[in-house]
Structure 1
Amino acid sequence: MLSSLPPTGMPKRPPRVPRPAPVPRVDSPRLATLARRLEACGQEAAGAEGAAAEAVAEFWREVAAVGAPLIEQDPQGDPEHAVVTFVWRGSQDTRAVLVLPNKVIDPREPDRNLMDRLPGTDIWHWSVRMRRDWRATYALCVDEPDAEQAPPPAASHRGGPPPAGGRPAPADAAGPADPGYIAWLRGQGRPDPLNPRALPRRWGGAQQSVVRLPLAPSEADWQVRDGIPRGAVSSHPVRSAALGTERRVWVYTPAGRPAAGAAPGPDAAPGAGARADLPVLVLFDGEMWQPELGVATLLDNLIADGRLPPLIALLPDSLDSDTRWSELACNDRFVRFLSDELLPWAAARWPVTDDPARTVLAGQSLGGLMAAYAAVRAPHRFGNALAQSGSFWWPDGPQGQWLTSLLEAAPEHPAHPVRFWLSAGEQEWVLLPANRRLPAVLRTKGYEAEYREFNGGHDYLCWRTELADGLTALLAECIAAPAAGQAAAPAAGYTAAPAAGYTAAPAAGGTSGATAGRADAPVSPPAG
């Protein structure tokens, strides 16, 4: 167990680190073909205007048929890469379009993410070359006057004085991007109306669209299935002396277990070959994982497939950004809440284990930092830490990577073994060095630590599949072996529905569709 206390009063922000390599802009093969066709139309004396209009209309029909963004073959012939082309159908009033894929932007050169307009058309476009296992959420930020859009700052995004009326200059004007204009433009994000798949964002705002290349990890585990047992989700207030407040906690109980918090009794009797006490998952940011993303669907599927044991999941609410920063950044009061209050509260209501080897803490970003910190602070309660894109850089400043440095100075051979499962995105340049350092330090101190990287960013789209892999790895030994003479249950057959947490993206100016999945997952407001 660690003895040093964490620093306090640290800045609530990650380090400001430049992107090590520029965003990989390329030309779209499809749009290059269209540009040549339009040029040929312009050289024809008769019917040129109609032929050009038909060529553009044909392009938009193709986009409507296949959806956006366009996934094109790599011009270099590399089967492991593709060209991803984001498009926007503009109007005569469109002045600029900024595309923001998660972590595929350089803060030093944000105008590299400004779309170009194909001259003489309504086609705005932006293309990058990415490996075929990439996935990301993204937003389109559009300067296109409408009744709901706030006016931009009185400065041209290309420099120079604004035109009459305080509007910015057209996007194809010469000169560098104005930082104030770009900052305003980033606030105009909206989902891609040509892409039906979207995910909500934390703390409200417009939904994010989803791009997944063909070799990206499958999301089949998040699809709602017919014909499998389904657990229940309930919400409970939990009073905490450690935090000095009441905290809402969502609780997932597997099929066949009491959902409303009844004390362990006859209803908790195990099936053949199973234990009475269930493994426990504590998953931070419960307000995102269940009401918005429907994580119960994932747990139902993994349990039905025999890849997870039946378990109880506790999902505490993070409330808001300030509370999250305060509690998840190595806060010992929050560790006491988890170990001394939340687990006993659950044990009084459900047949949960007190075995740390069958208890998992899981979190993302600051939640990943807390998962690792709480496990080394209270290893007698938490024997597994699942940290995704952990903020192990914390805090920003001279004491950076505090937890890793503390572990590095600690004695070897911990009294209580803790298993770590860590992952981070290849596009997360700010936190990658710290995430690569921690598992090496853990192994030198005698901990079991698995670490891997995925092709993505700081993104729930990536964390969804990574969460499934981490849980199945950490809890594999908890799956009950079949009783003598009893065959292992096969994976349940199912009919796939849309993945839980996804919604139909609204058309421009429209409203979002209903959340696919569980009845207990409410419709997500347009979230950002």
Structure 2
Amino acid sequence: MTNHKQIQSAKIADLYEKLIKGQCNALDIFWDDIKQSGSPIIEEIHGDDKNVMVTFVYRAKDEIENVVVYGAFPSYRYKENLMEHLLDTNLWYKTYIVRNDIRFGYNYSVNDALDDDYKKRNMNFILDEFNKNKIVFLKDDEDEEDMDIQRSFVELSKVKDDVWTRKMDHKCNGTLDITRYESKSLNNTRRVWVYKPFGYDNNDNDENIKEKNNLIVLTDGFMQINILNAVTVLDNLIYHNMIPRSLCVFVDSNSDRVNELAFNKKYGELIVNEILPWARSKYNVTDKPEETLIGGVSLGALASAYIVLEFPNVFHNVLAQSGSFFWDNQWLINRYIDSEKVNSKFYLNVGFLEDRPYDDEPVMRDSIDKLRDVLLNKGYEVAYDRLPSGHDYLSWGEGLANGLIALMGKK
């Protein structure tokens, strides 16, 4: 049973007081109000203009053992996010204080096993029935193990609007080619998409044409295109002259993604010795390292930073979003400490909500900040950004735009 002194939310505290005084209709009135206003409950904090109180609520339809709130906020540490049961009612709730300039997705897991079987937990997720806002990440139909992801969605009052991921009022849209690329280095096949900016002519790869397009290579191609809206980002940035005309090669992942992206020299050989020569033979793109960029998200960011160290003087621009630099006891960070400086500059970002551990590994933000400091101490040029979300796709599209502007933007 909840101790009244533990209740932070004024609305929950008010309901508690009414119930213990015997106002039997108080619970029905509370749920009617939630139906109208939606959830979670957002309450201002007197004297604090940077944070709000967020209370998640769940209405149980039967007797249950527990409810867990799960997401980048409040966190992925399920045991820390068990909801409280209010008296003997059907109300379960959990209150947090959080900064008011973030966005996040979340799910509920009812009768959670409270173990480390995350696949089973994912199958048990439900949406918040009182939150009309949700986000859907569509599955990759060519991945038999993939599934649609649906999350209830919250955007707090002081989040800045997205700019570059939104369709703008122009018709200057690029096009995508798709190829099934057979890799000799990895002995497998994957999809590779090539973005061509508006006005690109397939005859533009004539060797006599002096003006070459910049070249961008991004890992996790399906995600970049279908979840992060990378094509829209490129269209908008090029149209508004924020970056030079660029082609972008989206290299897809496969079922062996972790092994490919985590310090795998053969994956680097795929990018450097296969994809780049192939792209340059088919398209009008630069061969200048200073006009060539590699980037990715999470493990893709880790792979990008690894490749520029393993294959120097190929990519002078590295765009690393929410990089998994904690991997293998921060092995790559230590490599940068011990290695000679290479001729590359970096854009690093991390979400405000990546300031908490996922399991037992170092905190994501701490590792990214450590790499930033190592790079700066080595004399690298580093642009650094904090995004208003977590390790959850919600801001990586805008982060991509920020990184492209920082690294390749027109001066």
Q: TM-score, normalised by structure 2?
A: 0.85
Separation in structure 1 between the aligned mates of residue 119 and residue 275 of structure 2, nearest angstrom: 41
**1:192 aligns to 2:128 (yes or no):** yes
Partner of 1:52: 26
Asked whether the 8 Å contact 1:264–1:350 carries over to 2, the reply is yes
- SS of corresponding position for 1:296: helix
Cα 1:209–1:201 shift into 2, 3 Å: farther
| Residues 331-361 of structure 1 deviation map (CA, whole Å, 9 limit, x = unaligned) | 1111111112111211222211111111111
Partner of 1:330: 263
RMSD: 2.9
Asked whether the 8 Å contact 2:15–2:26 carries over to 1, the reply is no
Letter in 1 for 2:246: L
Letter in 2 for 1:424: V
Separation in structure 1 between the aligned mates of residue 161 and residue 104 of structure 2, nearest angstrom: 14
Q: CA deviation at 1:128?
A: 0.9
Separation in structure 1 between the aligned mates of residue 162 and residue 168 of structure 2, nearest angstrom: 13
Flag the structure with higher strand content. Answer: 2
**1:424 aligns to 2:350 (yes or no):** yes
- SS of corresponding position for 1:363: strand
Q: CA deviation at 1:317?
A: 1.0
Asked whether the 8 Å contact 2:86–2:92 carries over to 1, the reply is yes
| Residues 360-383 of structure 1 deviation map (CA, whole Å, 9 limit, x = unaligned) | 111111111111111222232211
Separation in structure 1 between the aligned mates of residue 180 and residue 116 of structure 2, nearest angstrom: 43
Separation in structure 2 between the aligned mates of residue 80 and residue 276 of structure 1, nearest angstrom: 48
- SS of corresponding position for 1:343: helix
Cα 1:185–1:282 shift into 2, 3 Å: closer
Asked whether the 8 Å contact 1:37–1:55 carries over to 2, the reply is no
**1:88 aligns to 2:14 (yes or no):** no
Partner of 2:98: 130
Partner of 1:204: 147
Cα 1:276–1:192 shift into 2, 3 Å: farther
Partner of 1:294: 229
Q: CA deviation at 1:392?
A: 1.6
Partner of 2:185: 242
Of residues 422-431 and 275-284 in structure 1, the stretch that sits farther from structure 2 once superposed is 422-431
Q: CA deviation at 1:184?
A: 5.5
Cα 1:346–1:183 shift into 2, 3 Å: closer
Q: CA deviation at 1:474?
A: 0.6
Q: CA deviation at 1:82?
A: 0.6
Cα 1:131–1:53 shift into 2, 3 Å: closer
Partner of 2:360: none
Separation in structure 2 between the aligned mates of residue 184 and residue 382 of structure 1, nearest angstrom: 40
Cα 1:184–1:316 shift into 2, 3 Å: closer
Q: CA deviation at 1:257?
A: 1.5
Separation in structure 1 between the aligned mates of residue 116 and residue 212 of structure 2, nearest angstrom: 57
**1:282 aligns to 2:217 (yes or no):** yes
What is the total number of aligned residue pairs between the two structures?
A: 391
Asked whether the 8 Å contact 1:141–1:187 carries over to 2, the reply is no
Partner of 1:221: 164
Which of 20, 35, 42 is the matching residue for 1:61?
A: 35
Asked whether the 8 Å contact 2:7–2:13 carries over to 1, the reply is no
| Residues 71-107 of structure 1 deviation map (CA, whole Å, 9 limit, x = unaligned) | 2212x43010011122233313554321112163374
Partner of 1:316: 251
Separation in structure 2 between the aligned mates of residue 94 and residue 380 of structure 1, nearest angstrom: 59
**1:30 aligns to 2:8 (yes or no):** no
Asked whether the 8 Å contact 1:223–1:297 carries over to 2, the reply is yes
Asked whether the 8 Å contact 1:191–1:206 carries over to 2, the reply is no
Q: CA deviation at 1:137?
A: 2.2
Letter in 1 for 2:243: L
Q: CA deviation at 1:186?
A: 5.7
Q: CA deviation at 1:391?
A: 1.7
Partner of 1:141: 109
| Residues 150-193 of structure 1 deviation map (CA, whole Å, 9 limit, x = unaligned) | xx8xxxx7xxxxxxxxxxxxxxxxxxxx6489996564113334
Flag the structure with higher helix content. Answer: 2
Separation in structure 1 between the aligned mates of residue 294 and residue 235 of structure 2, nearest angstrom: 19
- Counterparts of 1:75-474 in structure 2, within 5 Å, are 76-102=46-72, 104-105=74-75, 107=77, 110-119=78-87, 121-143=89-111, 179=115, 187-193=123-129, 194-200=131-137, 203-258=146-201, 262-265=202-205, 276-320=211-255, 323-395=256-328, 400-412=329-341, 414=342, 417-428=343-354, 429=356, 430-474=363-407
- Taking only the aligned residue pairs, the percentage that are identical comes to 32
Q: TM-score, normalised by structure 1?
A: 0.67
Structure with higher RCO (Cα < 8 A, 6+ apart): 1
Which of 36, 51, 70 is the matching residue for 2:41?
A: 70
Cα 1:201–1:326 shift into 2, 3 Å: farther
| Residues 175-225 of structure 1 deviation map (CA, whole Å, 9 limit, x = unaligned) | xxx648999656411333423231427732542232222223422322223
Q: CA deviation at 1:118?
A: 3.7
Asked whether the 8 Å contact 2:238–2:244 carries over to 1, the reply is yes
Separation in structure 1 between the aligned mates of residue 294 and residue 118 of structure 2, nearest angstrom: 39
Separation in structure 2 between the aligned mates of residue 78 and residue 111 of structure 1, nearest angstrom: 29
Cα 1:350–1:99 shift into 2, 3 Å: same
